[in-house]
A and B are shown apart, each in its own frame.
Chain A
């Protein structure tokens, strides 16, 4: 059994047993938040890490799916219909995002996605008949799949864990697939990929849809978790936050966005209870990551581990040889 398989098994056991070893419901809820933001970060990572397209408007898509769920439930539809509509609306919005923003790459792509995110944020504030404006939309209940109520923290945690696990497995398969390889090729050498017969724009468009699907799933989880959605969820700071999750953990890796999500959520929810200036702490952590591990926590730690292992396993130089004149 490899070290990686052992680590994966330990992580799986730890995640499944969270409600047993966590000190209380509050921390189980924090774990649910980490998982749902990890799904969000995995979605953004498809673009940032594997397509080389940095989006600063993903909170808009996250919020659209959350609003669509809230609106459908408020209009008297069931949970299943609300979830399906939210996924369709989220994907459709991503398709529009992609058509508009894929006209450019680099800084142009960032600026267009930022603008689109701001438009959605503005709509959430001003289109009061649909979104409730500043008051937002409140949900009365969580779904009851197969007769199991998700109202309690533990039940909701397991539902989130299942969605997270499916998302992580799907991403693993996606990254190793020919399409994943094509996508990474367009990130590294778009001109060469074009010359090899690839439709670079269409590959990026499909990648946007995959990203939009995961983002919509995370948005639905979020609205069921908080049972409330307001324009604040769509704000630029939310987009920046999830981007920092991806970058700090390690863009273009499977584990990086998950670790990044855990870091940000823990500092935001747990550490903020002990440190008033938690924003300062989060900023300091990011600065430290950028300086010490510019590639992100996961690849950076792996690099340091390999370095340490090489040093430890290298045979010691004989003292006599060192002492030669």
Chain B
């Protein structure tokens, strides 16, 4: 059974076909890289997979379960987590509060208006464990507004990991990072165990190629090349539309 199956997915905005008959098959534990020039439809594909946008046609299955019509808010409960290209966190709160919100999202306790969140020891414990995976335990109580861009990237990853996902979608996790920050994020991602399937959009080919086992090249909303690293890099269409040489 595949971790993620996308079949005949289509999405248009007016007359613009952003995603056109996209098929994708990601095996459990696989590290899949999605590349393509700007405007290829990579983030739209992620938004369709997570349900933030409804497809015009096609189907999406997560570990054999058809989730095409499942509301986006339900998908994290089925084991899907994502990060955003533009960091989307809660800057007024501390790092641990951000991670606690991720944990709370899957807990029935999120509806409870009578207990004190600060006294929920198990949430804090799990939150700290998630922060440890990205090397930020020592900054747990720091307000997010006082952290660096790279640290925020790692908080995003910690929030996703805190939800114990089966499928993790990473939208340009290395974007805007310095060399040191890139190394830190790379280490975090490489340490994620194989029971988490990962699909990543990334432009930085140095780190992305090291990460990916299979690569899908999108161009104008269509999959034009798919295969392992060597196959995709060697393919003349990859050079033509993406690598540029």
A residues whose Cβ falls under 8 Å from a Cβ of B: 173-174, 176-182, 184-185, 188-189, 191-200, 206, 210
Contacts and interface: CB of A to CB of B under 8 A. Distances in A.
Given A185-B101, A197-B105, A177 B115 contact: yes
Contacts of B77: 197
Contact of B109 (A176, A178, A188, A200): A178
B73 A189 contact: no
A197 B117 contact: no
Given A188-B92, A197-B73, A198-B73, A177 B97 contact: no
A195 B50 contact: yes
A198 B110 contact: yes
B111 to A, nearest CB: 6
B92 A197 contact: no
Contact of A177 (B50, B52, B116): B116
A177 B116 CA distance: 5
B112 A178 contact: yes
A194 B73 contact: yes
Given A177-B115, A178-B115, A197-B105, 17 more contacts: A177-B112, A177-B116, A177-B117, A178-B104, A178-B112, A180-B113, A180-B117, A182-B101, A188-B90, A189-B89, A191-B52, A192-B88, A194-B72, A195-B50, A195-B82, A196-B163, A197-B163
Contacts of A178: 104, 107, 109-113, 115, 117, 120
A210 B114 CA distance: 13
Contacts, number: 85
A200 B90 contact: no
Nearest to A201: B73
B112 A179 contact: yes
A270 B22 CA distance: 70
A212 to B, nearest CB: 14
A188 B97 CA distance: 13
Interface in B141-166: 159, 163
Contacts of B74: 197
6 contacts: A177-B112, A178-B112, A179-B113, A188-B91, A188-B92, A195-B73
A111 to B, nearest CB: 26
B122 interface: no
B102 A196 contact: yes
Contacts of B92: 184, 188
Contacts of A180: 113, 117
Interface string B95-135: 00100111011110111111111101000000000000000
A18 to B, nearest CB: 30
A316 B77 CA distance: 57
Contact of B114 (A177, A184, A191): A177
A196 B88 CA distance: 11
B37 to A, nearest CB: 25
Nearest to B87: A192
B63 interface: no
A189 B112 contact: no
Contacts of A181: 97, 100-101, 104, 117
Interface string B73-93: 111110000101000111110
Contacts of A198: 73, 105, 110
A181 to B, nearest CB: 5
B111 A179 contact: yes
B101 A196 contact: yes
Determine which residue in A195, A198, A199, A210 has the highest number of CB atoms from chain B within 10 A of its CB, and name it.
Answer: A195
Given A185-B90, A192-B84, A173 B114 contact: yes
Contact of A192 (B89, B115, B163): B89
